[in-house]
Structure 1
Amino acid sequence: MLHKLGAAIFAALLVFSLAACSLGNPQKAGDTFVADASAAIDAVPNVVSNKTRFTDPGGMGAVINVRITAVEHTDLDAVLRDSLHAFADASGSLKGVSRVEFYVFPEGEADNGIRPDVLGLSQSPTVQEIRDYTSSNG
């Protein structure tokens, strides 16, 4: 009887361990996304630099923060639109419900930027809202 109980406990521990391993590390997946998204956004015309952060506080849903510095005197709407496309293309590993804080500003004028609401999205859209926007705005 004790032997069967020990075997059952061992089997349960093995199942739980395998299940935990299959869940993966959301922050590690976020780090991979950040590298991919940063490279894609840096390739957008008139982008000087970008800072992309992925934060997963655990159980609260991830938040992605993207700050893009654009060339002075450039069309910020175009940089934002193209950056949203680059972001969406790199977002395949992310859950659609994650909130995204996007901000594009001209070099040297961090207080004079724009957010996705100028393109008809919410100020902090979800990943899925960005995907939907980019798929319908080629």
Structure 2
Amino acid sequence: MENQVQTLTSYLWSRHLPIEPEELQRRARHLEKKFLENPDLSQTEEKLRGAVLHALRKTTYHWQELSYTEGLSLVYMAARLDGGFAAVSRAFHEIRARNPAFQPQTLMDFGSGTGSVTWAAHSIWGQSLREYMCVDRSAA
């Protein structure tokens, strides 16, 4: 299990946001211009398109959605629960220290993942919180 946790943690830290279509088009135009400026490369339109696509594939991050099975969800929980809980708890303690009168009655956690926000909020404001709404895409 430890190896799986370490592998998933490394993978999650190495991920980048998916590239926006406009950025991809900008890069393609830049590469096309670069290829056309090289006088040694006489390119037909088809060859040019192939060269641009090949260069884009080599230089562009290929983002893929993660599909959380029950097993991967357990590994994710083991990898992320403690750090997420610690960070959110620290933020909630700071809120309470700066505004002791703040007593939230509801909590909405969009992208709730492991539920660490709910646990941290309950540990700080357990008596005042009456309603929790946790939203996450993954059912696992």
Q: Which has the higher helix share?
A: 2
Please confirm whether the aligned pair reaches a TM-score higher than 0.5, indicating the same fold: no
Question: TM-score scaled to structure 2, two decimals?
Answer: 0.25
Question: TM-score scaled to structure 1, two decimals?
Answer: 0.25
Q: Which has the higher strand share?
A: 1
